[in-house]
């Protein structure tokens, strides 16, 4: 799975509370998407374009485990999110809602605001098309790629009910 | 295999599991609060809609609201009540207490269970020897509710071994905040943590609770304290008692072990903007506070309320500060009444709030204006979580919170 898009850069330890502020948690995804990350970069929700790539530092998406943070980001139409590292619930939720996520140590050093990046989920490689700099992380697990290809966890479970609906363990 | 691996192997019907492997395991309990319940039920109705074969394995607790302040929030609770009635899941309504405290007190969590929830502090139930993991709404709606299953990557386990006897005035909450800064936020990403060592073993159940509580800020998937006689005595006294049989680790040491000596830890305050930004109280002392609060996932325990009453004996809350007390459960409020703590703290100038999660995210209390500050026993201090992004949340022990309420500024409790 490959993505190419203009990148937007965010720092370390961005909590879900900054992706979806408490006053928007009951709003529809379209409203959350119009305010996503606005406190950190007011331009982002206004000017992000479909296919753009969000680049972030360490422990991106810490705090709440609610999937709305990933859905709000997905609602902007970005192609994928690449971070030095993710909070694990955020990483899990990305795949479950169908938003590609890639963990690449060193990505913030090679990306400048507005550069066009190329990211490959199956190899884990990221390239800055302007400078040619590359970095790579671990590719996403096969099960997670299958989840993305199905369109998320709910679609995967619907398409392959034997995965979760099989005989009970106890 | 350690406790986490034993639990995952049993629940996935395998003889053994290895770190890194993805397994699909049977889930024993799904915990949701009023916000996550609303989001999960919405996804479930819209995208899944299958029957729920085990509604008894789900508990929803209204803890972000003790009473809805707007029509929109009333609609959320109304929807949740209807949904709970229709599906037959367990519901504890407004005033029941904090989600995790109410779940434990109600006997919904037992050692050896797999417990999931989208509240990020769900791993706190590792204090009982459960495998407790935070998942998102789509896991709950897509696989937990319809099939009682979820996917898990088997985590690597890291032992966190605590030694030493802290100096007087340093509480387990101080040690926990200090440890978060020592280890580093996100440093334990995807790991399982076993809290162990002589310091942990000698703590009572509700003090042990404060350690699995912090594991999410370290990035960990889950953490636990291996069940022992303290755990067993505690669980035996809960509704449903102690299960006849539950998994235990086989005593093998974790792949890596971090050892810490807590002897020199001084009282700590986690300063904005993140939980790992812990400093000595003495470094922050004098910062004026508008609010002080006992409450949240880690606070509002009877231990905290007793501490506050001791600190405020013969003193009153400073006129600059509002001291809000939020009992963690109905049982704790009743106990505080019986011990005379409610009247004592009321007369000292504190305000009692209904059992709930308190100012967590300021859903029904705890919003601050720009420039205001709160010191609390809460679990989170990210800017914007409590009103203005220019308000400040400081996290500390009950002793520091109460001493600060009396002083009107962040202050260390004078050593008892």
Query: Taking Cα atoms as reference points, which of B156, B177, B190, B144 lies closest to residue B24?
Result: B144
B255 — contact with chain A (CB < 8 Å)?
A: no
Q: Average pLDDT, stretch A120-142?
A: 95
Nearest-CB residue to B147 (from A70, A93, A165): A165
The model's confidence at residue A166, banded by pLDDT at 50, 70 and 90, is low
- Alpha carbon distance B151, B166 (integer Å): 40
As given in the structure block, the two tokens for residue B108 are 């919904």
- Alpha carbon distance B309, B304 (integer Å): 9
Does A124 fall in a domain? yes
Phi-psi category of residue B186: left, alpha or beta, with phi > 0 → left and psi -120 to 50 → alpha: left
- Could you write out the DSSP letters of every residue in B203-239? S-HHHHTHHHHHTTTTT-SEEE----HHHHHHHHTST
pLDDT digits (tens, 9 = 90+) for A72-108: 999 999 999 999 999 999 999 999 999 999 999 999 9
pLDDT digits (tens, 9 = 90+) for B349-369: 999 999 999 999 899 999 999
Nearest-CB residue to B274 (from A13, A97, A141): A13
The pLDDT value recorded for residue B358 is 96
Q: Which of residues 368 through 397 in chain B touch A, CB cutoff 8 A?
A: 380, 382, 384-385, 389
User: Is A65's CB within 8 Å of B119's CB?
Assistant: yes
The alpha-carbon gap from B329 to the nearest alpha carbon of chain A, in Å, equals 22
Residues of B in contact with A65 (CB under 8 A): 36, 117-120, 122, 134-136
Does A146 fall in a domain? no
The pLDDT value recorded for residue B305 is 98
The pLDDT value recorded for residue A26 is 85
Which fold does the domain B268-407 belong to in CATH?
Aconitase; domain 3 (3.30.499)
pLDDT at B416 over 80: no
As given in the structure block, the two tokens for residue A147 are 């989840």
Nearest-CB residue to A63 (from B10, B35, B120): B120
* Alpha helix segments (H runs only) across A9-160: 16-19, 29-35, 43-47, 68-74, 88-97, 107-110, 142-150, 153-159
The model's confidence at residue A169, banded by pLDDT at 50, 70 and 90, is very low
Q: Average pLDDT, stretch B75-80?
A: 98
As given in the structure block, the two tokens for residue B95 are 């005033």
Q: How far is the first Cα of chain B from the last one, in angstroms, to the nearest whole number?
A: 43
User: Is B36's CB within 8 Å of A66's CB?
Assistant: yes
CATH code of the domain covering residue A62: 3.20.19.10
User: Is A86's CB within 8 Å of B12's CB?
Assistant: no
User: Is B138's CB within 8 Å of A152's CB?
Assistant: yes
The pLDDT value recorded for residue B252 is 72
pLDDT digits (tens, 9 = 90+) for B165-188: 999 999 999 999 999 999 998 899
> Does B268-407 match B3-243+253-260 at the fold level?
yes
The pLDDT value recorded for residue B270 is 98
- Alpha carbon distance A35, A42 (integer Å): 8
- Alpha carbon distance B374, B370 (integer Å): 12
Residues of A in contact with B146 (CB under 8 A): 157, 164-165
Q: Average pLDDT, stretch B381-397?
A: 94
For B218, phi then psi, to 5°, come to -80, -10
The domain ranges of chain B are 3-243+253-260, 268-407
Does A154 fall in a domain? no
Query: Taking Cα atoms as reference points, which of A129, A128, A1, A110 lies closest to residue A57?
Result: A110
Q: Could you say which DSSP state residue A141 is in?
A: P
**Cα angle A80, A156, A97; round to 5:** 35
- Alpha carbon distance B382, B222 (integer Å): 21
β-bridge mates for residue B291, sequence order: B322, B374
The pLDDT value recorded for residue A168 is 38
Residues of B in contact with A56 (CB under 8 A): none
In CATH terms, the superfamily for domain B3-243+253-260 is Aconitase, domain 3 (3.30.499.10)
- Alpha carbon distance B332, B358 (integer Å): 14
Residues of B in contact with A157 (CB under 8 A): 142-143, 146-147
As given in the structure block, the two tokens for residue B293 are 């609060």
- Alpha carbon distance A25, B72 (integer Å): 11
Does A106 fall in a domain? yes
The pLDDT value recorded for residue B182 is 98
Residues of A in contact with B10 (CB under 8 A): 169-170
Return the residue in A25, A36, A65 with the most chain B beta carbons within 10 A, the one to mutate for interface testing. A65
- In chain B, pLDDT over 70 holds for what percent of residues? 100
Nearest-CB residue to B26 (from A21, A96, A170): A170
Q: Which of residues 178 through 237 in chain B touch A, CB cutoff 8 A?
A: 185-186, 189-190, 216-217, 219, 221
pLDDT digits (tens, 9 = 90+) for B147-166: 999 999 999 999 999 999 99
CB pairs under 8 A between A and B: 137
Query: Taking Cα atoms as reference points, which of B145, B129, B352, B90 lies closest to residue B245?
Result: B129
Mean pLDDT of chain A: 93
The range of the structural domain enclosing residue A24 comes to 2-139
pLDDT digits (tens, 9 = 90+) for B248-304: 988 777 779 999 999 999 999 999 999 999 999 999 999 999 999 999 999 999 999
pLDDT digits (tens, 9 = 90+) for B6-61: 999 999 999 999 999 999 999 999 999 999 999 999 999 999 999 999 999 999 99
pLDDT digits (tens, 9 = 90+) for A1-37: 999 999 999 999 999 989 999 889 889 999 999 999 9
Report how far apart, in Å, the C-alpha atoms of B133 and of each of A17, B19, B285, B296 are: 20, 16, 36, 19
pLDDT at B323 over 70: yes
User: Looking at the 3D structure of chain A, how many domains does it have?
Assistant: 1
């Amino acid at each position: 799975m490959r993505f190419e898009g203009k990148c937007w850069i965010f720092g370390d330890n961005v909590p879900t509370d900054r992706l979806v502020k408490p006053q928007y948690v009951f709003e529809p995804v379209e409203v959350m998407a119009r305010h996503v990350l606005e406190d950190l970069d007011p331009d982002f929700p206004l000017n992000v374009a479909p296919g753009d790539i969000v680049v972030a530092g360490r422990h991106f998406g810490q705090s709440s485990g609610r999937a709305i943070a990933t859905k709000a980001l997905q609602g902007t139409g970005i192609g994928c999110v690449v971070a030095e590292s993710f909070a694990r619930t955020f990483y899990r939720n990305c795949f479950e809602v169908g938003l590609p996520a890639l963990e690449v140590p060193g990505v913030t050093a090679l990306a400048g605001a507005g550069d066009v990046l190329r990211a490959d989920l199956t190899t884990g490689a990221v390239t800055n098309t302007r400078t040619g700099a590359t970095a790579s992380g671990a590719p996403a697990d096969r099960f997670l790629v299958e989840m993305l290809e199905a369109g998320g966890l709910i679609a995967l479970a619907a398409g392959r009910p034997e995965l979760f609906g099989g005989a009970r363990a106890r | 295999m350690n406790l986490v691996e034993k639990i995952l192997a049993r629940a996935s019907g395998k003889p053994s599991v290895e770190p890194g492997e993805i397994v699909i395991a049977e889930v024993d309990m799904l915990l949701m609060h009023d916000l996550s319940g609303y989001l999960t039920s919405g996804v479930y109705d819209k995208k899944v809609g299958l029957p729920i074969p085990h509604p008894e394995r789900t508990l929803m607790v209204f803890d972000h609201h003790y009473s809805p302040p707007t029509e929109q929030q009333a609609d959320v609770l109304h929807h949740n009540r209807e949904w709970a009635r229709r599906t037959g899941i367990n519901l504890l309504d407004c005033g029941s207490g904090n989600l995790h405290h109410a779940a434990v007190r109600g006997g919904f969590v037992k050692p050896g269970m797999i417990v999931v929830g989208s509240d990020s502090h769900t791993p706190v139930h590792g204090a009982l020897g459960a495998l407790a993991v935070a998942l998102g709404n789509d896991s709950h709606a897509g696989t937990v509710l319809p099939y009682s299953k979820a996917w898990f990557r088997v985590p690597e386990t890291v032992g966190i071994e605590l030694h030493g006897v802290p100096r007087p005035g340093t509480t387990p909450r101080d040690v926990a905040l200090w440890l978060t800064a020592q280890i580093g936020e996100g440093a334990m990403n995807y790991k399982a943590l076993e809290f162990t060592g002589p310091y942990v073993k000698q703590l009572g159940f509700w003090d042990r609770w404060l350690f699995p509580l912090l594991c999410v800020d370290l990035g960990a998937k889950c953490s636990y304290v291996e069940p022992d006689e303290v755990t067993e005595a505690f669980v035996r006294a809960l509704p449903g008692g102690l299960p006849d049989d539950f998994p235990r680790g086989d005593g093998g040491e974790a792949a890596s072990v971090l050892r810490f000596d807590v002897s020199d830890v001084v009282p700590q305050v986690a300063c904005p903007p993140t939980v790992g930004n812990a400093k000595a109280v003495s470094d922050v002392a004098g910062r004026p506070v508008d609010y002080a609060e006992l409450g949240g996932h880690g606070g509002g325990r009877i231990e905290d309320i007793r501490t506050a009453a001791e600190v405020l004996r013969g003193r009153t809350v400073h006129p600059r500060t509002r001291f809000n007390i939020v009992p963690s459960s109905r049982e704790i409020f009743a106990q505080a009444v019986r011990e005379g703590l409610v009247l004592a703290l009321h007369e000292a100038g504190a305000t009692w709030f209904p059992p709930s999660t308190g100012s967590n995210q300021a859903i029904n209390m705890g919003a601050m204006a720009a420039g205001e500050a709160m010191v609390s026993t809460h679990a989170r201090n990210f800017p914007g979580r409590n009103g203005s992004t220019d308000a400040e949340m400081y996290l500390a022990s009950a002793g520091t919170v109460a001493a600060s309420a009396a002083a009107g500024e962040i202050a260390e409790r004078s050593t008892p």
